Amino acid sequence: MSMRAQLKPVGAVPRAVFALLALTLVLQILWQAGAAPPRARARDLPPAPSLAALRLAALGEPVALSKLTMLYVQGFDEQAGMSIAWRDLDYGKVALWLQRVLELDPHGQYPLLAASEVYGAVADPARARVMLDFVYARFAEDPNRRWPWMAHAALVARHRLHDLPLARRYAQAIRLRATGPQVPAWAREMEVFILEDMNELDSARALIGGLLRDGLITDPHELKFLSDRLDQLNHPLDRSNGTNRRDGGPKP
């Protein structure tokens, strides 16, 4: 027997079934009409997985997983139907996610860039400090490659947080740890300008003297600049002219 022969006409369906279908449709319409309109709800950033779990999930491709994880973290503030302000994120969790990304790919620089220039730009000093502390901790693991983010953290501490002791701590870390030949002289000289801002002129003189003696500064222009700066510090009246005043750190 063919399938067409097995089909029954519509008229064979009991009326009770039609009534039940109609009642169901009416109830569905009434339920939808009475329900509150859907509202987008922000999800909290979940805790970062353990490094062991991430390495297992990477299937031998930790760098690829590092990039995917970074995309996940950076895109978390944009959720369906809404955008979450950075200041509303749990920065403790954000820092741990960034740490995991960096642990998967230690040569990657993007987590440090995001911490110092993206999340660190939030208008919340407490959250900004969490990011700066993250950069400082990770800088110590590879100072000759990660010094740019430490320098930016020093500028954030100096100009946004107005925390000169913290800025000096970061600048001092660059001078003492980032000693590779690729590290520019201005990065090692940042501490001098911060000391001047702190009015610790004796320390600034001693630091310039040390930079001139240790042989790390070889560029003739940098040597002349430091010598002139030392002369100005030794002759305060000349400093009032401010003709050689130069801000430390990279230009924005």
Q: Does 240 have pLDDT greater than 60? A: no
SS3 string, the chain, reads: CCHHHHCCCHHHCCHHHHHHHHHHHHHHHHHHHHCCCCCCCCCCCCCCCCHHHHHHHHCCCHHHHHHHHHHHHHCCCEECCEECCHHHCCHHHHHHHHHHHHHHCCCCCHHHHHHHHHHHHCCCHHHHHHHHHHHHHHHCCCHHHHHHHHHHHHHHHHHHCCCHHHHHHHHHHHHHHCCCCCCCHHHHHHHHHHHHHCCCHHHHHHHHHHHHHCCCCCCHHHHHHHHHHHHHHHCHHHHCCCCCCCCCCCCC
Please give the Cα distance from 95 to 106 (Å, whole number).
15
pLDDT in tens, 78-123: 766 667 777 788 999 999 999 999 999 999 999 999 998 888 888 8
pLDDT in tens, 188-220: 888 988 888 888 777 777 777 777 777 766 777
pLDDT in tens, 38-54: 676 667 888 999 999 99
Radius of gyration of the chain, Cα coordinates, nearest whole angstrom: 31
pLDDT for the residue numbered 247 = 44
Top pLDDT among 116 and 236 is at 116
pLDDT in tens, 8-43: 777 777 888 888 888 899 888 888 887 777 676 667
pLDDT for the residue numbered 236 = 63
pLDDT for the residue numbered 203 = 78
pTM check: above 0.75: no
Q: Does 154 have pLDDT greater than 60? A: yes
